Amino acid sequence: MEFKPTYLYIKQHSLTGMKYFGKTSRSKEFLLEKYKGSGKHWTNHLKKHGEEFVTTIWYELFDNKDDCIEFAEFFSEEANIVKSKKWANEKPESGIDGGSNGRIGWVPKQETRNLWIKQRTGRVASKNTKEKMSKKRQGKDNPNALKWTIVDPDKNTYICKGLRQFCRAMDWKYGIVYNSRNGWISTKEGTGKGGRTKND
């Protein structure tokens, strides 16, 4: 079967914090404006808590089948989406058929790991979503209104907009990252400073 360009995405319920990792070959507009995600646990969660609270916190288009599969399986394992109570996935995502059993002993290529790091730089969903978020911000110094550079304790560097949302997506403790504690360093765009500039 011919591979169609596929979006991998992360949806999150803004009230409960529950997340879902999935894929779709439909348009970006469909993904961001209409599609709420699939999966039995996820759809039951939305029925109980309200699908109107679903947001797209990350998405990426993959034109290459192998890259899509490898990233989907690598992320499924990295984020532990099946066993973690923070995710509603019932099985690992494969990127092509809605799920897979994974490959025992599979070790991702360095190129895949590099792609994973690249994706972590954060892409906030649609223009409408950004406008809604913008209306909620108060003041230019709001942590979510600025571009941030983050260095984790292992010296990996990430760039994002919307620090609180990005920390939530990455399962990081916002207070520790924002205040540059425990080996983390966070820097605001244009200031050279973070929530705190010294590590505790």
Query: What is the pLDDT, as a whole number, of residue 16?
Result: 94
How far apart are alpha carbons 195 and 82 in whole angstroms?
34
How far apart are alpha carbons 135 and 151 in whole angstroms?
29
3-state secondary structure of 134: helix
pLDDT at 40 over 80: yes
- DSSP-derived pairing of the beta strands 6-13 and 19-24: antiparallel
Instruction: Give residue 199's pLDDT band: very low, low, confident or very high (50, 70, 90).
Output: very low
Which residues, 6 or more positions from 13, have their beta carbon under 8 angstroms from its beta carbon? Answer: 19, 45, 46, 49, 50, 53, 54
pLDDT at 1 over 80: no
Provide the whole-model pTM. Answer: 0.54
pLDDT at 69 over 90: no
Q: Which residue has the higher pLDDT, 118 or 197?
A: 118
Alpha-helical regions (H) of 60-141: 65-78, 110-119, 127-136
Query: What is the pLDDT, as a whole number, of residue 32?
Result: 92
Q: pLDDT tens for residues 83-137?
A: 999 999 999 998 887 544 444 444 556 665 665 555 554 443 344 434 443 443 4
How far apart are alpha carbons 132 and 139 in whole angstroms?
15
